């Protein structure tokens, strides 16, 4: 089986999920190819090769500096046509999901989005895809002659640490770099904030924190744990925090090692975005709050007292 990973870069640096894709591909035991598109892709390709990216295809062009779905999909389509992979893997990140919807359409391929496992018997592939908020686990396979496309949920696979590979510099038809859409610049919404979907620790706040004036205590706890700040939709809608922090059905799907839910009731629309977190700690004054049904550890009490006390303890411990 031939597997083509679509690695991505941001600001000229490889995303953590690029290495996770390699690990996912390794678990299938097939022939691994990894594609990296960038303004200058050579060094990134060498890095991917040294992490087990197999045959790493590097394409460099100024038009590839930012992820532009239109251009990226045309380039990927050409590479797919040349290398004929059976499986094309991307990350279920903000960029990956956007890219793969268009790519699968362009290739006429089936797409399984946000998968949590892949298995192969050598010829065919079967993926696991949670749906209906995780209450249904679908096993999806494909027997079409077109490549099967899938985006892999972030932080499910570890980052590939080592391995062998070789770099192949490729070019594609110049028309692939033409687009009616130009991405001129990208700005991070909250400078310095950790990327929520890549964070190992997330401290998330809900309506139980009472008001935007109490967000600094959430930032302090997150900072003391080296983590990022998440939020329920209730406090995003209330205008206490930017949408980029929202976790859940209409926000981000996260999978950190530790998720601390502060004053969050545990509505299903929130749970679907965080319930695969490795450890969940819930702080809520209502002992019957649904969040406790999925929490590994629960603290019943007033968040306004508990959060600063925890932060103090963590700071002392460091």
Ligand X SMILES: Cc1cc2nc3c(=O)[nH]c(=O)nc-3n(C[C@H](O)[C@H](O)[C@H](O)COP(=O)(O)OP(=O)(O)OC[C@H]3O[C@@H](n4cnc5c(N)ncnc54)[C@H](O)[C@@H]3O)c2cc1C
Answer yes or no whether residue 142 interacts with ligand X by CB under 6 A: no
Of the residues 246, 255, 275, 311, which one makes contact with ligand X according to CB under 6 A: 246
Answer yes or no whether residue 293 interacts with ligand X by CB under 6 A: no
Distance CA 136, CA 1 (A): 28
Residue in 134, 72, 153 with CA at minimum distance from that of residue 107: 72
Answer yes or no whether residue 97 interacts with ligand X by CB under 6 A: no
Of the residues 15, 197, 284, 311, which one makes contact with ligand X according to CB under 6 A: 284
Answer yes or no whether residue 264 interacts with ligand X by CB under 6 A: yes
Distance CA 278, CA 257 (A): 5
- The three-state (H, E, C) secondary structure of 51-79, written as one string: CCCEEEEEEECHHHCCCCHHHHHHHHHHH
Name the residue nearer to ligand X (CB basis): 81 or 211: 211
> Within a 10 A sphere around the Cβ of 229, how many other Cβ atoms?
22
Residue in 18, 24, 14 with CA at minimum distance from that of residue 6: 18
Of the listed pieces 4-12, 25-33, 40-48, 229-237, which binds ligand X according to CB under 6 A? 229-237
What is the smallest separation between the CB atom of 200 and ligand X, expressed in angstroms?
21
Name the residue nearer to ligand X (CB basis): 55 or 207: 207
Place of tokens 């996912």: 24
Of the residues 285, 294, 298, 314, which one makes contact with ligand X according to CB under 6 A: 285
Using DSSP's 3-state secondary structure scheme, residue 277 falls into: coil
Answer yes or no whether residue 303 interacts with ligand X by CB under 6 A: yes
Enumerate binding residues for ligand X (CB under 6 A): 206-208, 232-235, 246-251, 263-265, 267, 269-270, 273, 283-286, 289, 302-304
């Amino acid at each position: 089986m031939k597997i083509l990973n679509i690695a991505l870069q941001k600001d000229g640096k490889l995303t953590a999920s690029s290495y996770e894709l390699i690990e996912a591909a390794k678990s299938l035991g097939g022939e691994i190819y990894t594609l990296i598109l960038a303004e200058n892709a050579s060094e990134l390709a060498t890095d991917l090769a040294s992490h087990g990216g197999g045959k790493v295809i590097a394409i460099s062009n100024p038009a590839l500096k930012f992820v532009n779905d239109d251009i990226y999909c045309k380039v990927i389509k050409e590479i797919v046509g040349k290398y004929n992979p059976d499986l094309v893997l991307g990350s279920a990140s903000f960029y990956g999901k956007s890219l793969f919807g268009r790519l699968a359409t362009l290739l006429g391929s089936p797409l399984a989005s946000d998968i949590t496992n892949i298995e192969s018997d050598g010829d065919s592939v079967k993926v696991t895809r949670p749906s209906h908020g995780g209450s249904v686990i679908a096993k999806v396979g494909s027997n079409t002659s077109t490549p099967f496309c899938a985006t892999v949920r972030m932080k499910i696979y570890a980052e590939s640490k080592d391995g062998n590979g070789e770099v192949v510099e490729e070019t594609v038809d110049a028309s692939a770099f033409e687009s009616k859409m130009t991405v001129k610049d990208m700005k991070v919404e909250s400078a310095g904030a950790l990327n929520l979907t890549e964070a190992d620790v997330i401290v998330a706040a809900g309506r139980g924190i009472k008001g935007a004036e109490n967000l600094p205590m959430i930032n302090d706890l997150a900072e003391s744990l080296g983590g990022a700040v998440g939020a329920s939709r209730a406090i995003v809608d209330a205008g206490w925090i930017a949408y980029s922090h929202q976790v859940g059905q209409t926000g981000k799907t996260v999978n950190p090692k530790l998720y601390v839910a502060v004053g969050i009731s545990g509505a299903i629309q929130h749970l679907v975005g965080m319930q695969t977190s490795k450890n969940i700690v819930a702080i809520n004054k209502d002992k019957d709050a649904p969040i406790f049904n999925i929490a590994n550890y629960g603290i019943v009490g007033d968040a306004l007292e508990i959060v600063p006390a925890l932060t103090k303890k963590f700071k002392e411990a460091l």
